[in-house]
Amino acid sequence: MVSTPSVERNLATARRLIAQAARDGAKLVGLPEYFCFMGPNDRDKLAIAEAPGEGPIQQALSDAAREHELWVMGGTLPIRSGEPDYAFNASCVYAPDGRLAARYDKMHLFRYDNGRENHDEGRVLRAGPEPVAFDAGAVRVGLSVCYDLRFPELYRRLTFAPGQRPCDLLAVPAAFTYTTGRAHWELLLRARAVENQCYVIAPAQGGTHETGRRTWGHSMIVDPWGEVLNVLPEGEGVVMAEMDAARIASVRAQLPALEHRRCI
């Protein structure tokens, strides 16, 4: 997506793209970070922040999951934190019956200043408390958001969660800046797929927004060997690929790196 400052228009776009993915056979879909709102100022998102379990953005995601009978990973939306000047950047997941199946609040808050661009999410966001994974049927999915991608220890915690099997899929909805995305986006996504020997789905904001901000895009799906299965460089659209449990098992059997891991 190339989201705008209009929640209504963004929700209409998300509904249309989810419907397209469903028609094409998708069983699980993911939206980008802040699919619902990209305003001119970081603080603008506080005005549209919703209470947990309430509000038009969460309802739209639930309705789409129920209507199309698929899993919807709702990118992120601002959820009230209980402090008037801060929100959580929350990734809400809805099951095919429309119920909330999981919620992950972004743990790592982006800060960047190269003298020309300046970003600091900590001005308006609170960091989430813990990693979150869920089961979408037989598929174990680990949740993360954008800047989280730079912290491999998060994905290790998801992959080696006590009492749980390793993730089959890691989700990375994002709104990477053009500068950092051009340098590191694909490199980091493929690294996370290779080191955890699982699929990675990375729905991203991609293009020049109405506010003038440009995001890197390159929404992509990567397989457990690090091969890019599909990518959309810029603009709105649907990126699809087929997950294969046998592919995961084959990679892990041929190169049993997860078994060889040692905590140092």
Is 33 tagged catalytic? yes
CA contacts within 13 A on the Cβ side of 164: 19
* Of residues 94, 89, 93, 77, the one with CA closest to residue 37: 77
**45, 50, 106, 234: the active-site residue:** 106
Contact assessment for residue 175 and residue 32, using Cβ atoms and an 8 Å cutoff: yes
Is 146 tagged catalytic? yes
CA contacts within 13 A on the Cβ side of 119: 16
> What stretches of the chain adopt beta strand conformation (E)?
28-30, 71-73, 77-80, 87-94, 100-105, 111-113, 118-120, 133-136, 139-143, 169-171, 199-202, 206-208, 214-216, 219-222, 228-232
**36, 92, 146, 167: the active-site residue:** 146
Measured between alpha carbons, how far is 206 from 1 in angstroms, rounded to an integer?
A: 6
Is 27 tagged catalytic? no
Contact assessment for residue 70 and residue 29, using Cβ atoms and an 8 Å cutoff: yes
In which residue are the tokens 């730079």 written?
150
Contact assessment for residue 11 and residue 36, using Cβ atoms and an 8 Å cutoff: yes
Which positions are annotated as active-site residues?
A: 33, 106, 146
